[in-house]
Chains A and B, each alone.
Chain A
Amino acid sequence: GQQLNQSPQSMFIQEGEDVSMNCTSSSIFNTWLWYKQDPGEGPVLLIALYKAGELTSNGRLTAQFGITRKDSFLNISASIPSDVGIYFCAGRGSNYQLIWGAGTKLIIKP
């Protein structure tokens, strides 16, 4: 079946640093979605990508739909304390089912 590999699993960051995370798939996706989940809450949609090569920004967040349609990247510029949380990628293929990554946990260094 379809699988998503999301990396890194966790990141320790200093406030002000840029952050990058990515997801790769064993098969082609038509849609990539990036979500953030805070403790005790449901995932919140950050960015949706629909075309190969598409680059979309939402404030300090930028995500790209890979040219091969098997990967996607999320970058956060100038991180702030409220960026802490778990980021999930999710991809949708031809069967319309959403496949989820295992998440990247962002932690601020003390």
Chain B
Amino acid sequence: EAGVAQSPRYKIIEKRQSVAFWCNPISGHATLYWYQQILGQGPKLLIQFQNNGVVDDSQLPKDRFSAERLKGVDSTLKIQPAKLEDSAVYLCASSFSAEQYFGPGTRLTVT
């Protein structure tokens, strides 16, 4: 069974630029999550989708972050404009039940 796929793996941008991350969840997983992980910390949930609907986006900085899951499968997370403090690993996870399975993450560096 293929795992959660994410791309790109690494991205370096300058502040005020925009960036987008892509995630393809495990086949059949209705729930998809985007997390932000700062070095030395646990993952922080940004947004949770159930199929193509948003379940929880309470911690998403909506002035600069947006996410969509139009067909209930793939998802994209966008940051526009990026700030220095957005430097982190962005993890995508999917689940069928309580158990969440993670992709390898995208390491974003904002200079």
Contact = CB atoms under 8 A, between A and B. Distances in A.
Give the contact-size bracket for chain B: 10 to 19
B4 A42 contact: yes
A88 interface: yes
Contacts of B45: 97-98
Interface residues of A, number: 20
A103 B105 contact: no
Contact of B42 (A31, A41, A42, A100): A100
Contacts, number: 45
Nearest to B33: A98
Interface stretch (B11-19, B69-77, B96-104): B96-104
Contacts of B103: 42
A35 B101 CA distance: 10
Interface of A: 31, 33, 35, 40-45, 48, 50, 88, 90, 92, 97-98, 100-103
